[in-house]
Amino acid sequence: MQQIEQTVERKVTNRMRLETAAETLANLSEGGESRAEVVHDARNMVAALGLYCDLLEEPGVLAAPYRHYGIELRLVASASRKLVQKLVAMDTRGPAQQAALPDAAGDVDDRPRVDSAPRRQPPARRWERMHAAPIDNLAADLLASENLLAALAGAAIKLSVETSGGTLPVRMTGEDLTRILVNMVKNSAEAMTGGGCIRLSLRESPTKPGTTRWLTLTIEDNGPGLPQTAIEKVFLPGFTTRSKASSARGHREEPGAQRGLGLSITRSIVKAAGGRIHAANRDPSGACFQIDLPVRSR
């Protein structure tokens, strides 16, 4: 009975994190991030939402009186995907074309527009009013994300999460941690078309007394690794190691998909939290990303 309660609690925690992250992403377009970066992470969150819909439709997950929740959540996921597609379309069309974009129901809004109408002033930075709290226990937040990340990686990939200490606060928010983990796991999974393993581990780095304490989060896989000439470039916006051949092996992308932004976004989030990120290859094969975060004073 206790195990069932813990499973339900983890699912609720993951759902709340997804909801908060989705709201944060929706508001970030008003700040310093580009629309392409917001679209990139919004796609990842919608994909994660779709995976949860798949899990809810598995036999025995939801009792008959509650199955409608899964159906309704699937509708929300579909509507969210369409909103992301409209955001992409708005970014690639001129003002005249944007005026004729389909509405949520797919109909063209042909109401007359008055060019002399006053422009709506940009809204205030809503995320500043959300008071997103920094993480108090990085190990707990990482472990709570395990089910979501395993679903995102897919059945052909074994994902594991290990913590050795790390029950300490950092300056990063839970929403930003979710963005990082989704980006990193998605990148690793896409590199391993035939399946493989992804391992996330957290440890406290040894430091001298009186100096800043650091936590090290490592994400590693046993895929093909990074080209040696690309290791120093992987964090540049728009840089990708994926080739056209990867599409021929079964990768499907939505129109307007933004490549090469996940690691750039990850580095920006890590730096904003006072940390650093490093890329390397594993021996004999695979990629390894190490994220170092300073411990926050309580």
Q: How far is CA 137 from CA 21, 140, 141, 298, in A?
A: 18, 5, 6, 11
pLDDT in tens, 224-244: 999 888 888 899 887 776 654
Q: Yes or no: say if 240 and 233 are a contact pair by the CB < 8 Å rule.
A: no
Mean pLDDT of the 163-170 span: 95
Q: How far is CA 159 from CA 100, 141, 154, 162, 219, in A?
A: 45, 16, 9, 10, 10
For residue 51, is pLDDT > 80? no
Confidence of residue 132 (pLDDT cuts 50, 70, 90): low
More confident residue, 15 or 296: 296
Max CA distance (Å), the chain: 69
- Please give the structure tokens belonging to residue 89: 């379309």
Listed range (58-72, 83-97, 160-174, 209-223) with the worst mean pLDDT: 83-97
The angle formed by the CA atoms of residues 60, 19 and 179, to the nearest 5 degrees, is 105
Per-residue confidence (pLDDT) for residue 251, from 0 to 100: 44
More confident residue, 270 or 28: 270
Say which residue the tokens 């069309």 belong to. 93
Confidence of residue 267 (pLDDT cuts 50, 70, 90): very high
Closest listed residue to residue 178, CA positions, set 8, 19, 33: 19
For residue 133, is pLDDT > 70? yes
Mean pLDDT of the 196-217 span: 94
Per-residue confidence (pLDDT) for residue 246, from 0 to 100: 45
Amino acid at 289: F
pTM for the structure as a whole: 0.62
Mean pLDDT of the 270-297 span: 95
Amino acid at 164: S
Q: Yes or no: say if 142 and 150 are a contact pair by the CB < 8 Å rule.
A: no
Confidence of residue 91 (pLDDT cuts 50, 70, 90): low
For residue 157, is pLDDT > 90? yes
Per-residue confidence (pLDDT) for residue 217, from 0 to 100: 98
Closest listed residue to residue 180, CA positions, set 159, 158, 200, 194: 200
- At residue 203, the 3 state secondary structure works out as strand
Q: Determine how β-strand 157-164 pairs with β-strand 196-205.
A: parallel
Listed range (36-50, 119-133, 218-232) with the worst mean pLDDT: 119-133
Mean pLDDT of the 107-131 span: 40
Q: Yes or no: say if 201 and 164 are a contact pair by the CB < 8 Å rule.
A: yes
- Please give the structure tokens belonging to residue 293: 């975060």
Mean pLDDT of the 260-265 span: 81
For residue 163, is pLDDT > 50? yes
Per-residue confidence (pLDDT) for residue 208, from 0 to 100: 86
Give me the chain's average pLDDT, please. Answer: 75
Amino acid at 97: Q
Mean pLDDT of the 86-96 span: 62
**DSSP annotation string for 243-287:** -HHHHHTT----TTPPPS-HHHHHHHHHHHTT-EEEEEE-SSS-E
Closest listed residue to residue 89, CA positions, set 214, 256, 242: 256
* Cα–Cα distance for residue pair 186/272, rounded to 1 Å: 22
Crossing angle of the two packed helices 174-191 and 2-28, in degrees rounded to 10: 90
